Chain A
Amino acid sequence: MSDSSAPTEASAGDHATRRRGAPDGHADDVLRVRDLSTRFFTEEGQVNAVESVDFSVRDGEVFGIVGESGSGKSVTALSLIDLIDSPGRITGGEVWYRDADLADEFRGDRPDAVDGEFVDTRRLPEGVRRSLRGPAFSTVFQDPMSSLNPSVTVGEQIAEAVEVQRRARANPRRTRSRTQGYGLGRLLVDAAVPNRSFTSESSHARAVELLEQVGIPDPADRAEEYPHQFSGGMLQRAMIAQALAGEPDVLVADEPTTALDVTIQAQILNLLRDLQEEQDTSVVLITHDLGVIARMCNRVGVMYAGRIVERGTLSDVFDDPVHPYTRGLLGSIPDLDDPAPRLNPIEGNVPSLLDEEMGDRCYFADRCPKAMTDCLQPIPEYGVDPGTEGHAARCVLAEREYADGDALPADHFARNAGVRDDD
């Protein structure tokens, strides 16, 4: 995209050195995610939902994460804003966020959490991390119907978000929401004094303004309505209004248009783009739809089985893909303007993410048409073609040509799977 200080061919070799600090990356980065891993500890075993994910997001850009269901893209989003619930846990990695004030504040106490203007949100105290939700990060979730409270008016819910930000600004460590610590005492007091509302009038006015900003007609009337009175597209607009309440630097949009029809999707994508350009927000856009990625994103990461298998600019990934998974994904979608008689699907199914079944190899090897013996060892991220800055892939094909002689026997995995079944 632009010339920069750190070419990515370094990313394979410098893997170890890079771990120590926010360091390499682009001057405009606002967020740098390094080696992030999230695991779920379930009854069936440990699920490696996100494994050693690296990416960075620049000022005012849209960074896309694309992958199929179960690839770990949504868990990545939740990990960014530290919303992983038990039985899940972020088990490692760093999320460096650029905030000069916070960096100054913690330089003395927590030198390991500060690097230049960046702070590692994972090493900040819980309260501070909480206070970042809203003004620093905020999220638009996939399903607006289930993400809003059905028994509270839409206006009230947005006003609540505004109110929390307002109180947090007055006292940065105070970010209690209305429901936090809600118990019998509060219930009784609220019942006895019905007008003790959480939100103030000015928060409500701001909520109406936000609704208007996201293109909801008659915002003052609509603010008084409940979520079920909204259509899907309108609800998604309301969700976006709520996310904008804290004027975030980074907006994480997790499948924001998946539940919507194409004509409504087009409206919401236009809206997201307008807001992003107006407010110069950075957006992390997570979707399974390559078309949405193509329309919206500057740079893209492709996820498979918890890992980013390829990343780069839109044209790197779409026009010069290296990883056979990226190629397969692009070959699987029917082309609207130029239909081919037959699609080229990726054979097989998405792998299990159970730790014990994963092994130390390229996770795509069992479906890969170009699997070689080299693929049976752990694959680092290689920079692709030193000329293309920022284009990287977790695939040996980035380093060497495919050779028939090294190809894995076609039944390699079937044989192994058979052995396991017999056990």
Chain B
Amino acid sequence: MTDADDGAPVETVGRREARSGGGGAPDEPLVRVRGLRKYYYEDDSLLDRLLGREPTSVKAVDGVDLDVRRGETLGVVGESGCGKSTAGETLLRLREATDGTVEFDGEDVMAMSDEELTRFRRRAGIVFQDPFSSLDPRMTVGDIVIEGLAIHDEPADPPADGRSKREWRRDRAAELLERVGLSADQIDRYPHEFSGGQRQRVGIARALALDPEFVVLDEPVSALDVSVQAQILNLLGDLQEEFGLTYLFIAHDLSVVRHICDRVAVMYLGEIVESGPTDAIFESPKHPYTEALLEAVPRASVEEQGRRVDALSGDVPSPRDPPSGCHFRTRCPEVIQPPTIDIPQEQYRGVMDLRDRLEREGFSAESVWETLASEHAGDDEFERDPVAFKETLREEFDLHGLTGATMDTVEDALEILVNGREGEAADRLRDAFTSPCEEEEPILTGETHAVSCHLHADEDYDVDLDPEDVGTAMGGMAGMPDGARNSDEGDGSAAPTGPEDR
């Protein structure tokens, strides 16, 4: 039940070990995703249509480009709701994409007929996040592992040794269960008899049953305790090496991603904001969002004690109505000031926060009055005091210390707000403070280490990255074919991560 007995490869499972790199040129990515979009529609019922309502789209995945190279682990990391799981499921065509193409080993997955799709499913598997809900409680774990074999009529011919197909499948399931660290005599047990970590092993055995080349791992360890999580991560690494697997590893835990991935793509609100080799992303992050994520992770060491993190303000905006331009601009601590403005960054952030609340979150002056009133509860003499009102806002949005024309504009806007004209105040602020970040959508640019941020739009990429260092670091990673490693050295011949804009 442990990883200690990993040594002996199971015969049947290992038979295609020599496959890695087969079919297609070795430096071609195994999976190539371009412009993948997945929108969900709300208010889209028949009644809504009869009433002439426009459906609202929820942009779960909004134009994602990914290359997954043979034998590597590509991490997709982001916070909940950023679309990483949807992206993983859509590229396997478990959900129909709204737009975009996915090429698997040169074939267009989106255009596949049913028959081709069945063939594709043998070669690409998935391990789901929640080991409690992703296994049928009424099937034995043996049946769960066998199910895929039966559907794909594996083996095609009765085995030569006289076993029936059924016996062959059962033996194969037993082998797989042993390979993932369970014992073969547990084959007739039901999922509820296993712990979370053991169930996740069953999920992995199921994904491996058809001997796939590519496996999407959708948060495979996030439901597990740390000690068990480490067992599963080691197991996944071993399996990859043994069977030459290619992983798309979806996770929110940055430490896990750093541990297991060769390259990483960071997602925010349906888009990839930064992608590159793991060490480059973690050691010299470029996008302010990546920096903030890394900063926020609590480290398990004594130095962490009392560390104060400059937390990102606010929540992730709704994907129903993502911000214009750069999606991250509403929380970005480094949002770019227009050429006409030159004020300390915190104050600019404050002004933008105020604007944002007025424009996007239905901020009302009345609410400020009510809050003021509640502070004076029981005080009958309380009167609406414009000075206190403005002071509250200056405090909340860090607007103290502004000078000159900037201060005049802000004070003007506050005065308008006192009189309850929120729209007009927003207009005033917008006229003066529009950031380049909201006018133009940044594009993912860069060869190996790509970033989608206006701050880096004109930079010469990868100068700060010593190719030697990256090469060595990647060389230490398990299961990394030479082709993939070379391409990380930024020699220009590699498949680009952000192709649209070279």
Which residue numbers of A lie inside 8 Å of B, CB to CB?
68-69, 201-202, 204-206, 208-209, 212, 217-221, 231, 233-234, 261-267, 269-270, 273, 288-295, 297, 314-315, 318-319, 328-337, 339-350
| Inter-chain CB contacts under 8 Å: number | 188
Residues B379-430 near A (CB distance < 8 A): 396
User: Which of B234, B304, B371, B396 is within 8 Å of A345, CB to CB?
Assistant: B234
Could you say which of B50-58, B249-257, B433-441 contacts chain A? Answer: B249-257
Q: Give the chain A neighbours of B230 by CB distance below 8 A.
A: 331-334, 343-346
Contact across chains for A263 and B227 when beta carbons are under 8 A apart: no
With known contacts A291-B298, A349-B198, A335–B255 Cβ distance under 8 A: yes
CB distance from A421 to the nearest CB of B (A): 10
In the complex, what residue of chain A is closest to B80 when comparing beta carbons? A261
Bound-complex Cα distance A345 to B3 (A): 9
CA A347 to CA B235, docked complex, whole Å: 12
Residues from chain B with a CB closer than 8 A to the CB of A263 are: 79, 292-293, 296, 311-312
**A221, B367: Cβ atoms closer than 8 Å:** yes
Contact pick for B256, options A289, A334, A342, CB 8 Å: A334
Residues of B contacting A293 in the complex (Cβ-Cβ under 8 angstroms): 300
Q: Does B117 contact A (CB under 8 A)?
A: no
Nearest B residue (CB) for A204: B374
**Is B446 part of the contact surface with A, judged by Cβ < 8 Å?**
no
CB-CB < 8 A to A315: which residues of B? 302
Least CB distance from B411 to A in Å reads 21
**CA distance in complex: A319, B231 (Å):** 23
Q: Which residue of B lies closest to A315 (CB)?
A: B302
Residue B49 is within 8 A (CB to CB) of chain A in the complex = no
A341-B476, A343-B259 known; A329 vs B227 contact (CB < 8 Å)? yes
A173–B44 Cα gap in the complex (Å)?
55
CB proximity of A208 to chain B, nearest CB, Å:
4
Cα separation A315 to B377 with both chains bound (whole Å): 47
* Range class of the B interface residue count: 35 or more
Main secondary structure of the interface of A (DSSP, over half): helix
* B256 with A212: CB separation less than 8 A: no
State the CA gap A89–B159 with chains docked (Å).
58
Instruction: Kindly list chain B residues whose C-beta atoms are within 8 Å of the C-beta of A339.
Output: 258-259
Distance of A215 from chain B, by nearest CB (Å): 10
**A-B pairs with lowest CB-CB distance, top 4:** A291-B298, A220-B370, A345-B230, A205-B377
| Chain A residues near B300 (CB-CB < 8 A) | 290-291, 293-294, 318, 330, 333, 335
Complex formed: what's the CA distance from A333 to B304 in Å?
A: 15
Most chain A C-beta atoms within 10 Å of own C-beta, residue among B3, B79, B299, B477: B299
A318 touches B302 (CB 8 A): yes
Q: A267-B311, A294-B304 are in contact. Are A333 and B226 (CB under 8 A)?
A: yes
- Most B CB atoms within 10 A — which of A68, A265, A270, A349? A349
Q: Which of B262-313 contact A (CB under 8 A)?
A: 282, 292-302, 304-309, 311-313
Alpha-carbon distance between A213 and B256 when the two chains are bound, in angstroms: 35
When the two chains form their complex, are residues B371 and A208 in contact, meaning their CB atoms are under 8 A apart? yes
